[in-house]
C-alpha cells in the first residue's frame, strides 16, 4: 500500500528547534505505526532531536496494526502514536484506534492519524469518539507541522497524565488514611507510611528511612536521638538503629535541613518530612531513582498530613497500651503484663523459671507516715535497686502498691540474693530508710495452671512469709494453697457472722493490781463460734479480719459492746473498772476512728478515762505521723493508751517518747521466762524500769504462776493479767472474780 511519497521527503523548514534535554530525564515514548519503512526513517529523521518539556523522544516502531497492538500491550507509558490509517486494510488504522481505546482501555496515549489518501479520512464522529488528537494527510505534514503536532500531543498527554496521576495519587492517599490509622505498632506504621510514600513518588525501590524519637529509644546529650523505625532500599539494614549510624551525608544533611526548616524539604529526587512534635516527633526521608514532578510533590504533602495524623494515633494507642500494661510511676510492666509474660513462658513450655513476688514491709504505713510523695520515691528506689540487681533476662514488674514481681531463671532468682540487695538502707527524700522485703516464690517446674495461678501462688507464699515472720522468704507449697483456701472460707464465714452479729461475743479477763490484790480492770477479748459450732481462736480470725479490713467493722462492735458491758456492770454496782480494748492498725488508719470511738464511749455515758486502747508495738514502731496524731486526739479526749505485747517488737526509746502512752504491757513470753528462776536482769525487769523511766504504768500479761507474780512484784510491776488469776471469762462470770484473792 502506498501513501503519498511527498511525505518521505520532509521539507526541512527549521521549525522544530532542538533544546538541551534535562539530565537523565526519561524520554517520551512515541510509537510510529506505518507499513512503509521509509515513513519510519523519514519520521525519525524529522524528529530525532526534538525535546518536549525538557525530555527527549524514544521511538518505537510497528509495521502493522497487529504489531502496534503488541507494542501497546507490552510497553507502558507510550505518549503518542503516529498512526497510518491505511495498512493491511483500508481501515486497519481506525480499527487499531478502536482497539486501543476500547479493548486495551488506554485513554491517555495521544493519537495522530496520518494518511496519504484524503479519501480515507475518518468520520468526524470517529475522531471525536476515539479521542484522536490530529488528523493529517501526509502531504500536509511538513517537518515543522509534524513536530508541532507531536509537541501538542505530548503536552496534552503530559496534562492527562498529571490529572490521572493526581487522581490516582489522591485515590491512593484517601485509601491510605484508614490503613495508616489502623496501625497500632510504631514499627509497622513507619514501614507502611514509608512504602506508601515511595509508591506515591513512583519509585517503590527508593531508599528511605522513617525515624522516630521515642523516649524509650534513649537519650543523647539530654535529647532523645532519632531511631530508625523503618527503612527501605539501601538503608534497610539500619532498622532499629540510631540514624546517625547511617554513613550517608546526603541523608543526614537532608534531615538536618528539614529539621531546621521544621517542615518539608523537596529535593529534585527526594523528600524529607518532619512529622509530629516533641516526644512524638518523627522524620521521613526518601530518595527516588527519578526526578519528582510538581504534582508528586504536592501529593506527597497531602500524604504527609495523613501520616502525621496516623502517627498521632499510634502515639495515642501507644500511650493507652502503656497505661494498660505499664505502671506509670516505676515505668515497669504492671501486673497484667507480668502475668502475660508468665503465660508466654508456660506456653513455650520452658523449664527452669521462677516467679518471685517481693513486698516492701510496712509500705502502707510508710506511705501514711511520710506521705505519698515519699512513698513514691521509696518505690522508685526499690525499682532501681531491683533493676540494678538483675540482668535483663529477669522480667521486673510492679504488681501492686508496694509489691514487685520478678520472673527469671531459677538460679538468678535466689531469695538470698534478693534480700542482699536491701542490706543497705535507701536514702529517700533525705531520710535513710531500711527496706525490709518479704518474698514469695514459685518455681514454674512445680506449677500447675496458668500465669495468674502461678502469680497467685507466689503471693500466697509471700503472705505466709509475712505472717510467720521467721524467714523473709518462702517457696509456695501445696499445703499453703489449702491454708489459703481455708482462710478464704473463714473470711466468708466471719463476714457472715459480722453481718448477722451471730456467734460473736466478748470475754473479759481481769487485770489485777499487785499491791492491793484488787481487780482494777478487764481486757475485752473477742470470741467467735461459727455456724457449725466450732470455736475459732482470735489468732486465726483476727489476721484474716485485719487483712480484709473487716476488723474496722468488728472493732467498732467490740468497743461498743465493751462500753455497754461496762455500763451494765456500773448499774449492777460493781466498782468503777477500767476497760482495755484491743485495736488493730487498720482501725487506726480509718479516718473515722476517733469519731467512732467518741460516739461509742459517750453514747454509753462512760468516762473516757476508764477506757484504754491496746495498740501493738509494730504500730508504734513505724514513725507514723498519722498514728501519733490519732493517739494525741484520743488522749486529749481522755482515753488511755497501752502498748500490747511490749518487748516483742523493736520500739526504740526515741519512738516511745514521742507517743502519748499510759502503759506498757509486758509480752507474755518474757513473763514465761521468769518461771525458769532466771537470775540477773531479765527483759521483764528492763521493761519495768523503762516504764518507770518514762513515767508509764506497767502490766504483765500471761502470768500463770505464783513465782512469776512474785518476781514481778519485786521488780515493781504494778498489775498483772493471766491464767494465774483467771482466764478470760464470759461477762456474767466476771463479777464473781472481784471477790477472789490474788
Binding site for ligand C2E (CB under 6 A): 509, 525-526, 537-539, 542, 555, 558, 582-584, 614, 644-645, 668, 701-704, 722-723, 728
Which residue, 406 or 613, has its beta carbon nearer to ligand C2E?
613
Q: Three cell numbers at 139? A: 502531504
Residue 558 binds which of ligand C2E, Mg ion, none (CB < 5-8 A, kind-dependent): ligand C2E
Task: Name the minimum Å distance from CB 467 to ligand C2E.
Answer: 14
CB 308 within 8 A of CB 300: no
Which residue, 345 or 526, has its beta carbon nearer to ligand C2E?
526
Which residue, 289 or 543, has its beta carbon nearer to ligand C2E?
543
Task: Name the minimum Å distance from CB 642 to ligand C2E.
Answer: 10
* Biggest CA-to-CA distance, the chain: 150
With left for phi above 0 and alpha for psi between -120 and 50, is residue 349 left, alpha or beta? Answer: left
Q: State how far the Cα of 202 lies from the Cα of 226, in Å rounded to an integer.
A: 26
Which residue, 78 or 600, has its beta carbon nearer to ligand C2E?
600
Q: State how far the Cα of 329 lies from the Cα of 332, in Å rounded to an integer.
A: 8
Which residue, 84 or 614, has its beta carbon nearer to ligand C2E?
614
**Other C-beta atoms lying within 10 Å of the C-beta of residue 558:** 21
Which residue, 280 or 582, has its beta carbon nearer to ligand C2E?
582
CB 183 within 8 A of CB 192: yes
Q: State how far the Cα of 553 lies from the Cα of 536, in Å rounded to an integer.
A: 18
Chain residues binding Mg ion by CB under 5 A are 582, 614, 644-645, 701
Task: Name the minimum Å distance from CB 712 to Mg ion.
Answer: 15
Task: Name the minimum Å distance from CB 610 to Mg ion.
Answer: 17
3-state secondary structure 137-200: ECCCCCHHHHHHHHHHHHHHHHHHHHHHHHHHHHHHHHHHHHHHHCCCCHHHHHHHHHHHHHHH
Residue 197 binds which of Mg ion, ligand C2E, none (CB < 5-8 A, kind-dependent): none
Which residue, 292 or 558, has its beta carbon nearer to ligand C2E?
558
Residue 509 binds which of Mg ion, ligand C2E, none (CB < 5-8 A, kind-dependent): ligand C2E
Find cell 524539604 and name the residue.
Answer: 265
Task: Tally the C-alpha atoms within 13 A of residue 701's C-alpha that lie toward its C-beta.
Answer: 23
Task: Name the minimum Å distance from CB 524 to ligand C2E.
Answer: 6
Shortest CA distance to 18 belongs to which of 58, 44, 60, 47? 47
Q: Which long-range CB contacts under 8 A does 174-183 form with residues at least 24 apart?
A: 176/303, 176/306, 177/306, 177/309, 177/310, 180/306, 180/307, 180/309, 180/310, 180/313, 181/309, 181/310, 181/313, 183/310, 183/313, 183/314
Which residue, 118 or 727, has its beta carbon nearer to Mg ion?
727
Alpha helices in 350-473 (DSSP H): 363-370, 372-389, 415-420, 451-468
Which residue, 203 or 644, has its beta carbon nearer to ligand C2E?
644
Which residue, 153 or 526, has its beta carbon nearer to ligand C2E?
526
Task: Name the minimum Å distance from CB 563 to ligand C2E.
Answer: 13
Which residue, 270 or 722, has its beta carbon nearer to Mg ion?
722
Residue 723 binds which of ligand C2E, Mg ion, none (CB < 5-8 A, kind-dependent): ligand C2E
Task: Name the minimum Å distance from CB 716 to ligand C2E.
Answer: 21
CB 79 within 8 A of CB 60: no
Q: Three cell numbers at 737? A: 472474780
Task: Name the minimum Å distance from CB 629 to Mg ion.
Answer: 23
The DSSP element (H or E) to which 629 belongs, if any, is: helix 625-637
Task: Name the minimum Å distance from CB 612 to ligand C2E.
Answer: 12
Q: State how far the Cα of 563 lies from the Cα of 569, in Å rounded to an integer.
A: 10
Residue 526 binds which of ligand C2E, Mg ion, none (CB < 5-8 A, kind-dependent): ligand C2E
**Other C-beta atoms lying within 10 Å of the C-beta of residue 179:** 14
Which residue, 300 or 582, has its beta carbon nearer to ligand C2E?
582
Q: State how far the Cα of 155 lies from the Cα of 244, in Å rounded to an integer.
A: 44
List of E strands, 488-539: 504-513, 519-529, 535-536
Residue 668 contacts by C-beta under 8 Å, 6 or more apart in sequence? Answer: 645, 701, 702, 722
Residue 687 binds which of Mg ion, ligand C2E, none (CB < 5-8 A, kind-dependent): none
Residue 556 binds which of ligand C2E, Mg ion, none (CB < 5-8 A, kind-dependent): none
Residue 3 binds which of Mg ion, ligand C2E, none (CB < 5-8 A, kind-dependent): none
Q: State how far the Cα of 234 lies from the Cα of 286, in Å rounded to an integer.
A: 11
Task: Name the minimum Å distance from CB 493 to ligand C2E.
Answer: 17
Residue 624 contacts by C-beta under 8 Å, 6 or more apart in sequence? Answer: 365, 368, 369
Q: Three cell numbers at 726? A: 483467771
Residue 446 contacts by C-beta under 8 Å, 6 or more apart in sequence? Answer: 476
Report in angstroms the alpha-carbon separations of 425 from 381, 418, 422, 430, 469.
Answer: 10, 14, 7, 12, 20
Between helix 143-181 and helix 294-325 the angle, nearest 10°, is 10
Residue 276 binds which of ligand C2E, Mg ion, none (CB < 5-8 A, kind-dependent): none
Task: Name the minimum Å distance from CB 415 to Mg ion.
Answer: 31
CB 577 within 8 A of CB 640: no
Task: Name the minimum Å distance from CB 578 to Mg ion.
Answer: 13
Task: Name the minimum Å distance from CB 734 to Mg ion.
Answer: 17
Task: Name the minimum Å distance from CB 580 to Mg ion.
Answer: 7
Which residue, 404 or 541, has its beta carbon nearer to ligand C2E?
541
Which residue, 22 or 520, has its beta carbon nearer to Mg ion?
520
Q: Three cell numbers at 106? A: 488506554
Which residue, 556 or 701, has its beta carbon nearer to Mg ion?
701
Residue 137 binds which of ligand C2E, Mg ion, none (CB < 5-8 A, kind-dependent): none
Q: State how far the Cα of 190 lies from the Cα of 180, in Å rounded to an integer.
A: 9
Task: Name the minimum Å distance from CB 520 to ligand C2E.
Answer: 16
Amino acid at each position: 500500500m502506498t501513501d503519498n511519497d511527498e511525505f518521505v521527503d520532509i521539507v526541512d523548514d527549521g521549525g522544530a528547534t532542538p533544546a538541551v534535554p534535562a539530565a537523565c530525564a526519561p524520554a517520551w515514548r512515541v510509537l510510529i505505526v506505518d507499513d512503509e519503512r521509509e515513513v519510519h526513517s523519514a519520521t525519525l529523521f524529522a524528529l530525532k532531536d526534538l525535546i518536549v518539556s525538557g525530555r527527549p523522544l524514544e521511538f518505537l516502531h510497528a509495521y502493522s496494526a497487529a504489531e502496534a497492538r503488541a507494542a501497546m500491550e507490552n510497553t507502558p507509558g507510550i505518549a503518542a502514536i503516529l498512526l497510518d490509517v491505511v495498512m493491511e486494510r483500508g481501515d486497519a488504522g481506525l480499527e487499531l484506534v478502536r482497539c486501543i481505546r476500547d479493548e486495551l482501555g488506554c485513554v491517555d496515549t495521544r493519537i495522530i492519524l496520518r494518511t496519504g489518501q484524503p479519501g480515507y479520512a475518518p468520520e468526524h464522529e470517529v475522531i471525536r469518539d476515539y479521542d484522536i488528537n490530529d488528523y493529517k494527510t501526509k502531504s500536509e505534514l511538513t517537518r515543522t507541522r509534524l513536530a508541532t503536532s507531536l509537541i501538542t500531543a505530548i503536552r496534552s498527554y503530559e496534562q492527562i497524565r498529571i490529572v490521572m496521576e493526581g487522581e490516582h495519587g489522591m485515590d491512593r492517599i484517601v485509601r491510605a488514611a484508614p490503613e495508616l490509622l489502623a496501625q497500632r505498632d510504631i514499627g509497622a506504621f513507619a514501614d507502611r507510611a514509608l512504602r506508601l510514600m515511595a509508591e506515591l513518588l513512583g519509585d517503590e525501590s527508593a531508599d528511605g528511612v522513617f525515624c522516630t524519637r521515642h523516649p524509650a529509644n534513649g537519650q543523647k546529650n539530654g535529647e532523645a536521638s532519632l531511631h530508625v523505625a523503618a527503612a527501605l532500599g539501601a538503608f534497610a539494614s539500619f532498622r532499629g538503629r540510631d540514624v546517625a549510624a547511617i554513613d550517608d551525608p546526603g541523608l543526614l544533611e537532608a534531615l538536618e535541613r528539614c529539621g531546621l526548616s521544621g517542615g518539608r524539604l523537596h529535593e529534585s529526587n527526594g523528600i524529607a518530612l518532619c512529622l509530629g512534635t516533641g516526644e512524638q516527633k518523627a522524620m521521613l526521608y526518601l530518595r527516588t531513582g527519578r526526578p519528582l514532578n510538581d504534582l508528586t510533590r504536592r501529593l506527597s504533602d497531602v500524604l504527609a498530613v495523613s501520616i502525621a495524623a496516623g502517627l498521632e494515633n499510634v502515639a495515642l494507642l501507644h500511650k493507652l497500651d502503656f497505661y494498660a500494661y505499664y505502671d506509670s510511676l516505676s515505668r515497669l510492666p504492671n501486673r497484667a503484663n507480668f502475668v502475660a509474660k508468665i503465660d508466654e513462658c508456660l506456653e513455650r513450655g520452658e523449664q527452669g523459671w521462677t516467679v518471685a513476688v517481693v513486698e516492701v514491709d510496712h509500705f502502707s504505713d510508710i506511705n501514711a507516715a511520710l506521705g505519698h510523695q515519699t512513698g513514691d520515691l521509696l518505690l522508685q528506689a526499690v525499682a532501681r535497686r531491683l533493676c540494678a540487681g538483675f540482668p535483663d533476662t529477669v522480667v521486673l514488674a510492679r504488681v501492686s502498691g508496694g509489691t514487685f514481681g520478678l520472673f527469671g531463671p531459677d538460679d538468678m532468682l535466689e531469695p538470698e540474693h534478693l534480700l542482699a540487695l536491701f542490706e543497705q538502707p535507701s536514702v529517700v527524700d533525705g531520710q535513710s530508710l531500711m527496706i525490709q522485703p518479704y518474698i514469695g516464690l514459685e518455681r514454674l517446674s512445680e506449677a500447675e495452671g496458668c500465669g495468674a495461678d502461678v502469680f497467685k501462688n507466689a503471693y500466697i507464699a509471700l503472705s505466709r512469709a509475712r505472717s510467720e515472720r521467721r524467714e523473709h522468704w518462702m517457696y509456695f507449697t501445696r499445703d499453703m494453697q489449702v491454708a489459703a483456701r481455708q482462710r478464704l472460707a473463714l473470711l466468708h464465714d466471719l463476714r457472715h457472722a459480722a453481718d448477722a452479729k451471730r456467734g460473736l461475743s466478748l470475754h473479759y479477763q481481769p487485770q489485777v493490781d499487785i499491791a492491793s490484790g484488787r481487780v482494777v480492770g478487764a481486757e475485752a477479748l473477742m470470741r467467735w463460734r461459727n455456724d457449725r459450732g466450732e470455736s475459732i481462736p482470735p489468732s486465726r480470725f483476727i489476721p484474716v479480719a485485719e487483712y480484709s479490713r473487716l476488723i474496722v467493722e468488728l472493732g467498732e462492735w467490740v468497743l461498743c459492746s465493751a462500753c455497754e458491758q461496762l455500763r451494765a456492770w456500773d448499774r449492777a454496782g460493781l466498782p468503777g473498772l477500767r476497760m482495755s480494748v484491743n485495736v488493730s492498725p487498720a482501725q487506726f488508719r480509718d479516718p473515722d476512728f476517733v469519731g467512732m470511738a467518741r460516739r461509742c464511749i459517750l453514747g454509753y455515758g462512760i468516762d473516757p478515762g476508764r477506757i484504754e486502747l491496746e495498740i501493738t508495738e509494730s504500730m508504734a514502731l513505724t514513725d507514723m505521723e498519722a498514728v501519733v496524731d490519732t493517739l494525741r486526739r484520743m488522749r486529749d479526749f481522755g482515753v488511755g493508751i497501752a502498748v500490747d505485747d511490749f518487748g516483742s517488737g523493736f520500739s526504740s526509746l526515741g519512738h516511745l517518747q514521742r507517743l502519748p502512752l499510759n502503759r506498757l504491757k509486758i509480752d507474755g513470753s518474757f513473763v514465761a521466762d521468769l518461771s525458769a528462776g532466771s537470775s540477773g536482769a531479765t527483759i521483764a525487769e528492763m521493761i519495768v524500769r523503762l516504764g518507770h523511766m518514762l513515767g508509764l504504768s506497767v502490766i504483765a500479761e500471761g502470768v500463770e504462776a505464783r513465782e512469776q507474780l512474785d518476781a514481778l512484784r519485786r521488780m515493781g510491776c504494778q498489775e498483772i493479767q493471766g491464767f494465774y488469776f483467771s482466764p478470760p471469762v464470759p461477762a456474767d462470770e466476771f463479777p464473781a472474780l472481784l471477790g477472789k484473792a490474788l
